[in-house]
Amino acid sequence: MTSTRTVRIGTRGSPLALAQANLFASLITQASGGSVATSLHPFTTTGDKILDKPLQDAGGKGLFTKELDRAQELNEIDVAVHSLKDVTVTLPDHLYLAAFLEREDPRDCLIGPFARIADLPRGAVVGSSSLRRQAQLKAARPDLNVVTFRGNVQTRLRKLSEGVAQATILAAAGLRRLGMIDHAAATLPVEDMLPAGGQGIIGATLRKDAPDWLKELLAKIDNEEARLAATAERAFLRRLDGSCRTPIAAHFRLTKDGAEMVGEVLADDGSKRWRAEGVIEGRPTVFDAEVLGDALAEDVAIERAYDLEGVLPPDYAPDGEDGEDEA
């Protein structure tokens, strides 16, 4: 490598996105031994501009990435850094996910004067822009008045202080990366609120025809555990159309014996939920993780269809019951 090489890093312009891009840039500097420079190129995405309606009505996840995708296609930037849960499960043909950074805390935080969802007053107004969180809140507390709450972390905290809502839910990862975790009344266990697929993971997209030195550099900062989790959770989302239009959650983690994963889909009003769980024995590969995520999604899809339509395939058996599908 030579000192003349510079990696142009595309990012959204929000404080959280810039913090994540700066983290990525520091890892590039470290991995290259200081021989590669970095430059940040902030973009205002369509999702940043549309704040007056729910994401699912405005176009879904691609709203936060398409300007960056286009900039990569035009070779205006080399790498785009994203919160992985904002990235569509099917990427444009010219791109691939080249690196995943070490996962931050994937859990959600309750923000407001109450430390537990159960402690919220009856009929309390809770703000969230996430269909997943809205459905999970309604499933736990049907009496809550859950309203749409758009904007970045700072905007949502301001709305809360202005009394627009009595509580809100934010990702622990974002609060930690911004040094604002003290704003959380509590971090919610995954058993109470299963996270979004990819939550807490930063992903970097790269052109497929990028130079080998850049591909090799990103491979150095790729985190294996984050890649496994991202692969499993995105496989689950892909099978079930996880596009901001479906209340869907997925969480994969390594254990001392291998790995385990839980995934679920909920009715919009929280009145129904379809959940599947699975394990991998022994150290998983990326292939194992993808198979597990896809298999759990298939179970959820079939059971949801049966619940709504009353029909199961004649050869259907949940994972493990047929003795063959032991992902």
Give the mean model confidence (pLDDT) for residues 236-240: 93
Q: Which residue numbers are catalytic?
A: 86
Residue 17 lies in a domain: yes
What is the domain extent for residue 129? Answer: 108-187
> What is residue 45's predicted lDDT score, i.e. its pLDDT?
73
Q: Read off the tokens for 84.
A: 């992985």
Residue 11 lies in a domain: yes
Handedness of CA 226, 211, 25, 184 (dihedral sign): negative
> What is residue 321's predicted lDDT score, i.e. its pLDDT?
35
What does residue 51 show for φ and ψ, rounded to 5 degrees?
-120, 0
Q: Which residue has the higher pLDDT, 123 or 308?
A: 123
Question: Are residues 112 and 71 both part of a single domain?
Answer: no
> What is residue 183's predicted lDDT score, i.e. its pLDDT?
93
Question: Are residues 205 and 287 both part of a single domain?
Answer: no
**Domain holding 293: CATH number?**
3.30.160.40
Question: Are residues 119 and 174 both part of a single domain?
Answer: yes
Question: Are residues 72 and 219 both part of a single domain?
Answer: yes
The secondary structure of 175-232, three-state, reads HHHCCCHHHEEEECCCCCCCCCCCCCCEEEEEECCCCHHHHHHHHHHCCHHHHHHHHH
pTM score of the predicted model: 0.88
Number of folded domains in the chain? 3
Question: Are residues 40 and 150 both part of a single domain?
Answer: no
Question: Are residues 301 and 241 both part of a single domain?
Answer: yes
